[in-house]
Amino acid sequence: MTTLTADLPEGRIWRFGWMFGAIWLVYLIYPLNDILALEHMPAKVAGVMTIVAFGVVFTSTFWRFRTGLRRGKPLPTSQAWIALGVMITLTVFMSLSIDTTAFGATVYIAVLAMMTLPVRQAWALVVVMVALVEAVPRLVSSWEPDTFFAFQLLISAAAAWGITQVFQRNHELAVARQQLADLAIVAERERMSRDVHDILGHSLTVITVKSELAGRLIEIDPARAAVEIAELETLARQALADVRSTVGGMRQIDIGTELPSARTALNAAGIEADLPGDADVVPLRHRELFGWVLREAVTNVVRHSSARHCRVTLTASSISIVDDGVGPAEGGSDNGGNGLRGLGERVKASGGSLTIARVSTGGFGVEVSAE
């Protein structure tokens, strides 16, 4: 299998976004010290495993929250509650060994709650935890009350709420910028359409008038008719040049127009085509890239696969082309053609990832994912 993935700075930031959560786990060193000070080795091992599990749940949930926010798919509330429930259970387990020192972990629970839960649910959970860390040490005679934990909870929850608002505003701004970019593309295409309409409208009107005149003159004044016909040729060439100069800069491959072309090519080669009816699901920013992917992949299917069936699958962020032909060579040499290599460079430049592999049917599979 060959995988080409774009290595852009923004991608690295989000790929390693979990580190922004993991870095704060340093404060778990305090309960960890108390666990390591326990007398019995089984208790130490269980305590360390509990802290590790706590850190993994916190970091993974924090990373899923950030990734989902960026992609416009927030972490489901039910999954957030599951993660919080696991962390609360682990905190209770720690408190059985190290008493109130384990309450430091409630700060992480409060922060994660403010980020992943609806505001009312998050604050309700924080209030309940504040009441518990204040009341439980006073009810258990061997525990020592410490009002500092309640203060930490409230301050941390407020700070997390503020950071979450910043995350959400940044995401909304990114969505707005993308919408503006899409609208700009639509506006430019509409402007080009108007220009072409005006150019052709004028040129074809003149050509029509002159052709009618030449038709009337051809019998009564052949010399004049010849002049008019010569001017018609000049006008037609000029109109063609004007159209080329107008649209030459905006001519692009588009997945919507490539689907019918792909169907025609596959049918002509005797390959059964299983293609989407349209490409409406694909956003504007991916349409050109997916068009190039479909064109190159279908070309390879027709030329090299000896396939009987080819299936194309489209989503808003991916395209997959799979056939049941001979597939790539085991050594991967089929992946090194100029067409696929150029396609890989195009996908990488667009910030996506290209995967080329042998599929279960033995054929060739090309898949591109784009953010």
Which residue, of 200, 231, 247, is where some domain finishes? 247
- Check if the beta carbon of residue 223 is closer than 8 Å to that of residue 214: no
Q: Does the residue 178 lie in any domain?
A: no
Alpha helices in 221-337 (DSSP H): 222-247, 255-268, 284-300
Indicate whether 305 and 195 sit together in one domain. Answer: no
Give me the domain span that covers residue 260: 255-369
Indicate whether 234 and 301 sit together in one domain. Answer: no
Burial class (CB in 10 A: 0-12, 13-18, 19+), 43: middle
Q: Does the residue 169 lie in any domain?
A: no
Closest by Cα among 9, 20, 91 to 62: 20
* Residue 273 β-bridge partners: 310
pLDDT of residue 290: 92
Q: Does the residue 29 lie in any domain?
A: yes
pLDDT of residue 42: 87
Sheet containing 2-5, strands listed edge to edge, beginning at the edge strand earlier in sequence: 2-5, 353-358, 364-369, 318-323, 309-314, 272-274
pLDDT of residue 165: 76
In degrees and rounded to multiples of 5, residue 356 shows phi and psi of: -125, 125
Q: Does the residue 170 lie in any domain?
A: no
Q: Does the residue 162 lie in any domain?
A: no
- Average pLDDT of the residues of the chain: 79
Indicate whether 345 and 231 sit together in one domain. Answer: no
Indicate whether 279 and 341 sit together in one domain. Answer: yes
Q: CA-to-CA distance for 128 and 171, rounded, in angstroms?
A: 30
Indicate whether 137 and 68 sit together in one domain. Answer: yes
Q: Does the residue 166 lie in any domain?
A: no
pLDDT tens digit sequence for 106-161: 888 888 888 888 889 988 998 898 888 888 888 877 777 666 777 878 888 888 88
Residue 2 has pLDDT above 70, yes or no: no
Residue 327's pLDDT band, with cuts at 50, 70 and 90, is low
pLDDT of residue 332: 43
Indicate whether 269 and 294 sit together in one domain. Answer: yes
- Check if the beta carbon of residue 261 is closer than 8 Å to that of residue 222: no
pLDDT tens digit sequence for 26-67: 778 878 888 888 888 888 888 889 888 998 898 888 888 877
User: Element (H or E) spanning 208, and its range?
Assistant: helix 148-220
Indicate whether 283 and 242 sit together in one domain. Answer: no
Hey, what are 298's tokens? 């279908």
Cα-based distances in Å from 183 to 171, 188, 195, 204: 18, 9, 18, 31
Indicate whether 219 and 267 sit together in one domain. Answer: no
pTM of this prediction? 0.46
- Collapsing DSSP to helix, strand or coil, 258 comes out as helix
Which residue, of 121, 146, 171, is where some domain finishes? 146
Q: CA-to-CA distance for 320 and 263, rounded, in angstroms?
A: 15
Q: CA-to-CA distance for 275 and 266, rounded, in angstroms?
A: 10
Given CA atoms 170, 172, 178, 183 in this order, what sign does their dihedral have?
A: negative
Indicate whether 139 and 45 sit together in one domain. Answer: yes
Which residue, of 146, 177, 209, is where some domain finishes? 146
Indicate whether 210 and 300 sit together in one domain. Answer: no
* R_g over Cα of the chain: 33
Residue 302's pLDDT band, with cuts at 50, 70 and 90, is confident
Q: CA-to-CA distance for 267 and 302, rounded, in angstroms?
A: 10
